[in-house]
Amino acid sequence: MISTKIFPILAVFLFSGICKAQEPTIPGYRGIWFTLGQFSTYGDKYSGGLGTYTSSHVPVAIYDKASHRTYFVYGGTTGEHDKHLLIMISYFDHATKKLPKPIIVLDKQGVDDPHDNASLSIDADGYIWVFVSGRNKSRPGHIFKSNEPLDISGFTEIYRGEITYPQPWYFGDEGFLLLYTKYTNGRELYWRKVQHSQIPGPEQKLAGMGGHYQLSHQSGNTLMTVFNYHPGGNVDKRTNLYFTKTDDMGESWKTVSGEILQPPLTEKNAKALIREYEREGKLVYLNDLTVDKFGNPVILAVVSRNHQPGPDGDPRDWIVFHYKGNRWSEHKVCASTHNYDMGSLYVEGSIWRIIGPTEAGPQRYGSGGEMALWESRNEGQSWRQVKVLTSASERNHSYARRPLNAHDDFYAFWADGNADVFSVSNLFFCNKKGQVFKMPYTMKETFETPEKLKWSNKK
């Protein structure tokens, strides 16, 4: 038997399989509330109900055709007076239109920070994988695999190590290509392969210009990523846009036009640069990445002039970037009130949609707001607001997330929370038509039907 004292890292791989106990449930959908604690004239840099935070955790929900369910993960807590982070998993059953009591995958044991939220994947055999974010070296990341296919009742830990902002993408027999962040010299970007229940492959650095946040998207055999950079490692100066892709599981990386790159990318003027905002003194907050009907990348971001909340940073423009005809174009959707007004982009043939908190909420200068549905029928060149999904709310809604292979009945999900003071945080989802449903905060039955809401959320 190998001693865990001699081989501590290897022992985690070999003996993590003992963690097979059935996971307990929580009697309702209770989101985590969080404050960053970086206050200025108009409040905290971001705070509120952050159960579906961050945009760098992708995917966080997946529609599975075989089970006719949408599985999703979120940052939960034990009750309305608590800030005790629990990594939760559940699903919406499209046949019965019901939700089960959610399951605790991992109790973060005193951590209240939703940077430790999780992302999700499902392999070809139906096993559900949960990739839990860590935070630098102080809190490890985790990889869990369900004990049975399409079953959330129990998970086995596969790996524990330094992983932040996990973005797992499944490529069949080749396993997962995992993109993630390490705090090696700022927030640097890495990738590694994860083969079914085996020790993850060696990690390799993708970009290290002082720090980055990234989004990624899988299209067929291609994995693409867009990222910004942090001058001098300062996340409050995040700027520029970079794009790269791989179609061979990370063996090679290319520009959007197919030119070979040599990672790690360490120069801010690397060939991957697609938009230089630094010269304009503008900041870039990444929201979503997807592709058009031809497989060309489409990016959604919020662009502003100040990292602090309040009117000095206006306008906070929602911008769509589209690669077509060997060039990038950019088009404004709207403006909102906060840098962290995060929404999701849906490109479905000739109809493009955005769901996000674009409208001012009850905590005007706080993160989030009222959710709205926007639509474009000319490839993002112009947009119209189709519907305001929430109004007269008591708390801001934030971080509307798009499920992978989104089904019409569970099209986006998010959480609410008071951005100014500690509050309860509920979870919501909407269908493709924009009808909003509230997940039950307290459940008496094992399965319950979510509450169909009208125009206001005052509960």
What's at 244, amino acid-wise? T
In angstroms, the CA 360 to CA 398 distance is 11
- pLDDT exceeds cutoff 50 at 367: yes
The DSSP element (H or E) to which 12 belongs, if any, is: helix 8-15
Q: Which residue carries 């001699």 as its tokens?
A: 6
Beta bridge partners of 161: 141
**b/e burial code for range 81-100 (CB count within 10 A of at least 16 → b):** eebbbbbbbbbbbbeeeebb
Check residue 92 and give its pLDDT: 99
Query: In percent, how much of the chain has pLDDT > 70?
Result: 93
The band of 17, judged by pLDDT with boundaries at 50, 70 and 90, is very low
Closest CA to 209 of 134, 279, 273, 166: 273
Name the nearest CA neighbour of 88 among 21, 159, 32, 19.
32
How far apart are the C-alpha atoms of 421 and 47, rounded to whole Å?
Answer: 9
Q: What does the pLDDT average to over 327-354?
A: 97
Q: What is the DSSP letter of 281?
A: T
DSSP 3-state assignment of 116? helix
> What would the pLDDT profile of 397-428 be if each residue is shown by its tens digit?
999 999 999 999 999 999 999 999 999 999 99
pLDDT of 2 higher than 90: no
Residue 137's pLDDT band, with cuts at 50, 70 and 90, is confident
Q: Is the dihedral of CA 418, 286, 189, 156 positive or negative?
A: positive
pLDDT band at 18 (very low <50, low <70, confident <90, very high): very low
SS3 6: coil
Peptide bond into 59 cis (omega under 30): yes
Residue 16 binned pLDDT confidence (cut-offs 50, 70, 90): very low
Element (H, E) at 163: none
Beta partners for residue 91, in sequence order: 71
Measure CA of the first residue to CA of the last residue in the chain; give whole Å. 56
- With a cut of 50, say whether residue 223 has pLDDT above it: yes
The mean pLDDT of the chain is 93
| Separation CA 257–CA 336 (nearest Å) | 32
Please name each of the domains of the chain with its CATH number: 24-452 (2.130.10.10)
Q: Is the pLDDT of residue 15 over 70?
A: no
Bond into 264 cis (ω within 30): yes
Q: Which DSSP category does 139 fall into? A: B
Do 318 and 339 meet the contact criterion of CB atoms below 8 Å apart? no
Does 254 have pLDDT greater than 80? yes
**What digits encode the pLDDT tens for the residues 292-313?**
999 999 999 999 999 999 998 8
Q: How far apart are CA 45 and CA 37, in angstroms?
A: 8
pLDDT the model gives residue 7: 26
Measure CA 443 to chain center: 26
Q: Per-residue pLDDT tens for 420-452?
A: 999 999 999 999 999 999 999 999 999 999 999
- Please state, for a pLDDT cut of 90, what percent of the chain lies above it: 88
H helix count then E strand count, the chain? 1, 37
Rounded CA-CA distance 235/53 in Å is 17
